[in-house]
Structure 1
Amino acid sequence: MTDNNPIDTIDQVDFDTQLKADRRKTLIRIGVLIIFNTIMFAVFIKGRGFTDNLLTSLNANLFGFNIVGFILGTIVAIFPYKGLSYNKKYLRASILTIFVLQSIMAVGLILIALMTFLGWY
């Protein structure tokens, strides 16, 4: 039994454009979270000066979380997702992992900001 359907059907092309649009939206969200986390860390974390906190936060947000996200993306991409090849799943999984890491950091910084305003930190 042979399959006579062409490889690139309209559904596949639409799915690829949808993946690209989702990737672009997620990258914009990651950029916003990086800016938010950098500012919040520099302002609300105590113990060092503002410039030291800013440089630490920039290093963590621009390099640290991205490296960890791509490493964890190799593991996350193993899970099946709509018949995609590993390369497409890897990029998608890595970007989503970076987004989750940045979101967790943002929630933690919001909690620290609330504790600061209440006088608990």
Structure 2
Amino acid sequence: MSSTNKKQLIALAILAVLNLLMSNFAVGDGRTLEGRVVAGNSTEMQGATIRALLFGIQFISFTIGAIIALVPYKGIGFKEKWLNISLSMAVLIQSAFLIMSAVKIFSS
């Protein structure tokens, strides 16, 4: 693993923790598929937020990374491209979520 990947993992961990801390203040009420209202501070909503931030974003990042890594580029192997692109996507998405949370918290 290259030093860039290690730095990306550290940045990803820091962003994930910050997102989890800010999510308590930024998450609003939601609805289940049955139409039932779920309060933003309920344990059900907190669990859904944790699953989305820790697993959903990583799943989306690695899926997008796999698709982009299929494009040939300068003879770099698929695994190396996949890891680099996926970690970059995860950092980008976590950063976007952090910025959106900060805007929501400080604008209200």
8 Å Cα contact 1:41/1:109 also seen in 2 = yes
Alignment match of 1:32 (pick from 14, 31, 39): 14
1:95 aligns with 2:77: no
Alignment match of 1:43 (pick from 25, 36, 40): 25
What TM-score, normalized to structure 1? 0.71
The CA deviation at 1:68 is 0.4
8 Å Cα contact 1:29/1:99 also seen in 2 = yes
Q: Distance in 1 between matches of 2:73 and 2:99?
A: 28
Q: Distance in 1 between matches of 2:13 and 2:48?
A: 17
The CA deviation at 1:33 is 0.7
Q: Distance in 1 between matches of 2:96 and 2:82?
A: 21
* Greater relative CO (CA pairs within 8 A, separation 6+): 2
Point out where structure 1 has 5 or more consecutive residues left out of the alignment: 1-18, 117-121
1:84 is paired with a residue of what secondary structure? coil
Q: How many residues align?
A: 98
Point out where structure 2 has 5 or more consecutive residues left out of the alignment: 30-38
Q: Distance in 1 between matches of 2:99 and 2:91?
A: 12
Aligned-pair Cα RMSD in Å: 1.8
CA, structure 1 residues 79+110, in 2 after alignment: closer, same or farther (shift >3 Å)? farther
Identity over aligned residues, as a percent? 24
Q: Distance in 2 between matches of 1:115 and 1:88?
A: 40
Tell me which amino acid in the other structure corresponds to 1:23.
N
Runs of 4+ in structure 1 over 6 Å off: none
What TM-score, normalized to structure 2? 0.79
Q: Distance in 1 between matches of 2:99 and 2:13?
A: 16
Instruction: Determine the structure 2 residue equivalent to 1:12.
Output: none
